[in-house]
Every structure is written in C-alpha cells, then in structure tokens.
C-alpha cells in the first residue's frame, strides 16, 4: 500500500535529479579551473591555456572529499550498514522463535527473506569495496599534499567505481530467482534470435 507506482516513479525521479545535481556540481564551478589559471598566470606564461585531462587535475579534491565522500557516500553507506545489521538481527530473532503458523512454515519464509537480505548485503559490500579505495586516495591527496600516490592506483580505483555499476545486475541475476528470470527473458528477447 505504501509503494505505489506513482510513489516509486517520484522516488526514482528524485534520485536521478539529485544524482545529476551532485554529479554536475564541478561543472557549475566547484573545480580546479581557476586554480589552474592562477598557476599559469604566476608562471607568466603567454602560451595557450591547456588543461591536462587527469582526474586529480580537473576535479577539486575539496569537492570529492567534503561534498561527495563525507556527504553523499559515507553517511548512506553507514546508514545502509546499520539497516542491514538490524534486518539480519530481526530475521535471526524470527528464525530463533520457531513459531509454528497454522498454514505457513516460518523457517521457509524467513529463509527466503534471509537469502534476499544476504544478496542485498553483498551488493552493499561490493559498493564499499568498489568506492572506498577512490575516496581513501582522494582523502590522502587532500589531507597529505606531500604524499604521492601512483597514478595507476588512481586509475584502478576509478575503474573499480565504474565496475560497480556492472556488478549489481550480475549479483541480482545470480542470487535472486525473480531477477534471474527477468534477466534471462530480457537477454533472450533482445540479444538472442
């Protein structure tokens, strides 16, 4: 009764709008462009202004650490961790009660709930595993300017963040039967003859 198609559509639209605003914030001015221009002016170089397209050169570490990590990644990650711990605790309590119902088997019902909760916890774990390395490197870059992190580590961390988007459908397809069935239907309909 709470999750109606209209409410779901509004929630999805809000998520996309917030994501666009957060993701496009550097384009609205929170970037390193002015710092790069000042550096060029200090060098009194009259050559053409060229921007090296590297992650740490273009993106402001203040944005990445304070705004992106401390506001949009870490709090939701910790909140989801607490929610999953509570879900597992509730399921464990229900399974330990061994309450017998007249027609349904509670062990079977809560066993399914536990499997779904484990799948979602796996998604949360993969999210943390994929995103935390980049944010740790960003924190090192911001809080320890003299520390040099190898560029290859940054590229691997960025690759992990992109790979996270590909992991979720695979996890859902292998762990949850309804997702697997829908995934196979879509695959057969659009990719197989």
Q: What is the pLDDT confidence band of residue 104, given thresholds at 50, 70 and 90?
A: low
In 10 A of CB 67, how many CB atoms? 16
pLDDT at 67: 95
pLDDT at 96: 75
Q: CA-based angle 137:140:145, to the nearest 5?
A: 130
pLDDT at 86: 92
Q: Is the pTM of this model over 0.85?
A: no
Average pLDDT of the chain, as a whole number: 86
Confirm if 56 and 139 have CB atoms less than 8 A apart: no
- Asked whether the predicted pLDDT for residue 107 surpasses 70, the reply is no
Task: Give the residues across from 59 on adjacent strands.
Answer: 31
Task: Kindly report the backbone phi and psi dihedral angles of residue 148, in degrees, each rounded to the nearest multiple of 5, phi listed first.
Answer: -105, 120
Q: What size, in residues, is the chain?
A: 193
Q: What is the pLDDT confidence band of residue 102, given thresholds at 50, 70 and 90?
A: very low
pLDDT at 45: 60
How far is residue 193's CA from residue 190's CA, in Å, rounded to a whole number?
Answer: 8
Residues 43-97 have pLDDT tens digits of 766 677 777 777 778 889 999 999 999 999 999 999 999 999 998 888 878 777 7
Confirm if 60 and 72 have CB atoms less than 8 A apart: no
How far is residue 177's CA from residue 180's CA, in Å, rounded to a whole number?
Answer: 5
The alpha carbon of 22 is separated from its chain's Cα centroid by a whole number of angstroms, namely 13
Q: Which residue has the higher pLDDT, 109 or 171?
A: 171
Task: Kindly report the backbone phi and psi dihedral angles of residue 31, in degrees, each rounded to the nearest multiple of 5, phi listed first.
Answer: -145, -170
How far is residue 78's CA from residue 53's CA, in Å, rounded to a whole number?
Answer: 33
Residues above pLDDT 90, as percent of the chain: 46
- Asked whether the predicted pLDDT for residue 151 surpasses 50, the reply is yes
């Amino acid at each position: 009764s709470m999750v109606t198609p209209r409410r779901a559509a509004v929630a999805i639209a809000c998520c996309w709008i917030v994501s666009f605003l957060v993701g496009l914030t550097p384009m609205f001015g929170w970037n390193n462009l002015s710092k790069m221009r000042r550096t060029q002016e200090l060098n009194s170089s009259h050559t053409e202004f060229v921007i090296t397209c590297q992650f740490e050169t273009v993106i402001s570490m203040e944005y990445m650490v304070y705004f992106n990590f401390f506001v949009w990644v870490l709090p939701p990650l910790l909140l989801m961790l607490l929610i999953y711990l509570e879900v597992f605790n509730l399921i464990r309590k229900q399974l330990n009660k061994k309450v017998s119902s007249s027609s349904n088997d509670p062990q079977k019902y809560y066993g399914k709930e536990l499997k779904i909760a484990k799948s979602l916890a796996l998604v949360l774990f993969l999210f943390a595993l994929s995103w935390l390395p980049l944010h740790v490197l960003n924190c090192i870059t911001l809080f320890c300017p003299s520390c040099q992190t190898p560029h290859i580590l940054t590229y691997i961390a960025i690759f992990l963040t992109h790979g996270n988007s590909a992991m979720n459908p695979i996890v859902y397809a292998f762990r949850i039967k309804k997702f697997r069935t829908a995934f196979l239907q879509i695959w057969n309909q659009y990719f197989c003859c």
